[in-house]
Amino acid sequence: MPIQPTQPIVIPAIAEKTADALWLKSLVINAPDINSTVNISVMLTPYISTTGEMFHEKSITLELDNVLTLAAAQPELANTMQVLFTEIERQAKSKNLI
């Protein structure tokens, strides 16, 4: 329900800002079981690299489906996944988890 003010209310303009980078906010690897496909969900948040100002309300989610098939065709992705899994194993062993 609108209410009429007795005087105009001035709302100051907000300067437009341009984000020049994306921050990797979240990376989730989903592999429910040994027979399922491996998918990766990535959340990226725009930010200004010189100030560190982040724009969480503008975050985007990118879904990478069937990553093992992608990795078979892209050696760089396969190498990155191997490095990640090697580090996970190293960390788990150092903490006596495996």
The domain segmentation of the chain, as residue ranges, is 17-65, 67-98
Q: What tokens does 86 get?
A: 């090697």
| Short-list 42, 40, 41, 38, CA closest to 66 | 38
pTM greater than 0.85: no
- Give me the tens of pLDDT residue by residue for the chain, a chain 98 residues long: 778 888 988 889 889 999 999 999 999 999 999 999 999 999 999 999 999 999 999 999 999 999 999 999 999 999 999 999 999 999 999 999 99
